[in-house]
Structure 1
């Protein structure tokens, strides 16, 4: 196996330690829900296909050290995974931020922050190497970060591919069938609020809110548009803004980045809607625009727009500027449809 696989099922965990997941929502002038429904039957793809979302400042503060040790142990592509582990294990607010003490046979919370990151990164690298040798997928590795390396052998003897049923049966065997109550929303939805009393069989689900598939920029125009757009990721929303010096509102951002790619669009979201060929969202391709109504009080019908990037995601001037999941209830409620820029 080359560099193990990971496709939309990303989620990750921490060595025999329970973690509570807080789903973050951006609420500002526009509300977006970054995390859509998770399909745990899907493959995960290459680690290069993923990037972080919704990480707190406390987690991001550890990124330089994570990058240092990921490079040292040869898993630099897994930095988004490692940061997601920190988000799940501690939210960045603990000494043992990766909860990696137990991988050394030590009591929980024994290691300081740097030692935790170093050991957690080394441990993940070792699991990846073991999985490569035994021919199992990266989803198994992510669950093994929580369960321990024995889960890799368990999956290797049962078809070599992670399934939730295998994660559940492993926990059941290790716990002797003992069930414990668990208040995490995932457990409540899936199992009525319980799990087996070994590790966390929902470990993959816990990571998903902190990871997003990176859109591929195959079309030259779309690539140019997104290269310009990503310069402003994280900028604040500014009503009436239409320039990097002031930041942007929704249509100001779109007008600017398309102009940089050699395409002239009118200024407002309503005018941009009128300048496009209207199509249903189901027919949208990366580079098309997505339009919404009634996101704030105005005389215009169209009040917000973004750039469709594929996989039901858009890039837009939210607050801050960045990606949003079009399957969220907020965007579905206000969706008008997509628009293709006319030649």
Structure 2
């Protein structure tokens, strides 16, 4: 029997695509989308939707009980660059929503949780190349601190209360379907919009800043895959490393130039450079491969083709960054 699913933060960069994929897999009425605001027409027309502030414990519990929810995907978060501007808001949103969901699972009002972590849990003292699953973690951003703390609480609730919580550490995610969400890796989306509209882009990171990246379709696949895996296959209850490709702005711009030879890029690093410098350049995700058979599909050339193909019909629209 298909699970009854609640997605919190369904209008966000990941949540919007995850909602549509889960509805395709399980049926539109099995997946309840929710957010603090309504989403785009495609999302709103695809199935049930609730306006929900997940920091409001009683409102969250009401929705879960009303729809008899089995699984919660907690996708609401304030991302790295935005959280540096509003530290306490970022901390409170990222932590309070997690505790609300963990406590509902502890009280057996939901059966399973997906909570996303991030490469932001790592810090300047972490080995930058092929960063292992278990290593030094001294994050230097509000977002990273909240995600590292969340990982510890997820593992605690699993060990102490038997909560079936599952998590992956997302790298930077690239998609043409939604706008950038306030993250440090957003350049890898903005660059395509600007290349198609203006044939030039000013990047907020240095040209050789290497960061782990992934096409959104791979991230969605991994999210659904880990939640569908038999419980005995999930050996790590903090969060799994997840990897696809390692990318620099220079490497990405060169891939774009193969399709748009007139494209030009220049560089004006801002405060996000320090955030990027604190993160890994590449990730070892062998535990995810071993435990639940993770394997990415999209390489740089495929990502570039997909982004240009997907964004070309939209180039006449004025994007608000």
- Fold similarity call, TM over 0.5: no
Bigger radius of gyration, 1 or 2? Answer: 1
Q: TM-score, normalised by structure 2?
A: 0.27
